[in-house]
């Protein structure tokens, strides 16, 4: 059993709930290990097609648990940050899942909590959401991917402003900047995010995997290379059963039933 998260599966959607309300879902090493265990279960279940991550209707995640035991941290080499390494390992694993990952963000998503949301493919915000990277106020910098993922979403200049000022922004500003994909009414977050997740779960899983890989990999390349990546990701799909099913369903004017084969 888990102590700081919940892991549930609803139809073909897995839900990881951050569950440490006493510390506003602050991310501890124990919580990270529990999330790895949940991901192990997800990857072992061949029926799961979408992952949703949220922290409830009141708070997503208020950063790292800065009260954690820090013994031994300063003994590590100057070029190594054990906290960053653990965050990168977890968040990179989430971002590289072969399925769509939806973050449902309510209340505060700060520091490592915000960086967790940035590692997801799609971010749904409640009206009460507030996000920010306050690390410079603590004499350090974002180390869970914030200095890398945020600029890729909103551009370097805007990302630097948020990082340097440590400002917290609300849902409307996050939507304007492109951080939030959509905003929903307070109290309706789970239902709206789950409805989207179920829609995504109906799509051909191999095609979702290839589309995600093409977008993420292409972002790091020039256009010509990106188009080549797109072609090479699309080519194998025409040999899949799902492609045949999709074309057949289109001709027969019915909803396709994809099997991931």
Q: Cα–Cα distance between 52 and 193 in angstroms, integer?
A: 8
Residues 163 and 247 in one domain: no
Residues 49 and 132 in one domain: yes
Flag whether 261 is in a domain. no
Domain span at residue 42 reads 5-201
Amino acid 81: pLDDT: 83
Concatenated DSSP letters of 94-146: HHT-SSEEEEEE-SEEETHHHHHHHTSSEEEEETT-EEE--GGGGTS---SSH
Flag whether 178 is in a domain. yes
Concatenated DSSP letters of 137-188: GGTS---SSHHHHHHHHH-HHHHHHHHHH--EEEHHHHHHHTS-SEEE-TT-
Residues 100/123, Cβ–Cβ less than 8 Å: no
Flag whether 100 is in a domain. yes
- Check if 34 is active-site: no
Q: How many domains does the chain have?
A: 2
| pLDDT tens digits, one per residue of 27-50 | 999 999 999 999 999 999 999 999
What's this model's pTM, rounded to 2 decimal places? Answer: 0.92
Q: Cα–Cα distance between 142 and 84 in angstroms, integer?
A: 9
Residues in the chain where the model's pLDDT stays below 50: 69, 71-72
Residues 163 and 239 in one domain: no
Structure tokens at 166: 């440590």
Residues 42 and 169 in one domain: yes
Q: Cα–Cα distance between 203 and 224 in angstroms, integer?
A: 28
Q: Of the listed 8, 73, 135, 161, which one is catalytic?
A: 135
Residues 15 and 73 in one domain: yes
| pLDDT tens digits, one per residue of 47-97 | 999 999 999 999 999 888 866 545 445 555 667 788 899 999 999 999 999
Residues 126 and 189 in one domain: yes
Residues 78 and 168 in one domain: yes
Residues 154 and 211 in one domain: no
CATH assignment at residue 47: 3.90.226.10
Residue 209 contacts by C-beta under 8 Å, 6 or more apart in sequence?
98, 99
Flag whether 257 is in a domain. no
Q: Of the listed 10, 75, 115, 161, which one is catalytic?
A: 115
* Angle, helices 241-251/205-218, rounded to nearest 10 degrees: 110
Flag whether 180 is in a domain. yes
- Check if 230 is active-site: no
CATH assignment at residue 211: 1.10.12.10
Amino acid 72: pLDDT: 47
């Amino acid at each position: 059993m888990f102590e700081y998260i919940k892991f549930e599966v609803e139809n073909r959607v897995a839900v990881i709930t951050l569950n440490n309300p006493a510390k506003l879902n602050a991310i501890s090493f124990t919580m990270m290990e529990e999330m790895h265990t949940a991901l192990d279960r997800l990857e072992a279940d061949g029926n799961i097609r979408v992952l949703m991550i949220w922290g409830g209707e009141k708070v997503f995640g208020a950063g790292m648990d800065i009260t954690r035991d820090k013994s031994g941290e300063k003994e590590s080499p100057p070029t190594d940050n054990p906290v960053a390494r653990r965050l990168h390992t977890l968040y990179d694993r989430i971002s590289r899942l072969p399925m769509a990952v939806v973050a449902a963000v309510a209340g505060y998503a700060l520091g490592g909590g915000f960086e967790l949301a940035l590692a997801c493919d799609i971010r749904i915000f409640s009206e009460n959401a507030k996000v920010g990277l306050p690390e410079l106020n603590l004499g350090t910098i974002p180390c869970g991917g914030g200095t890398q993922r945020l600029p890729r979403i909103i551009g370097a200049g805007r990302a630097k402003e948020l990082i340097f000022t440590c400002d917290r922004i609300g849902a409307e500003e996050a939507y304007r900047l492109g951080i939030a994909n959509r905003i929903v009414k307070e109290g309706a977050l789970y239902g709206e995010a789950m409805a989207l997740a179920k829609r995504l779960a109906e799509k051909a899983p191999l095609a979702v995997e290839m589309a995600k890989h093409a977008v993420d990999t292409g972002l790091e390349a020039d256009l010509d290379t990106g188009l080549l990546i797109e072609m090479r990701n699309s080519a194998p799909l025409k040999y899949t059963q799902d492609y045949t099913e999709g074309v057949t369903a289109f001709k027969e004017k019915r909803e396709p039933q994809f099997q991931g084969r």
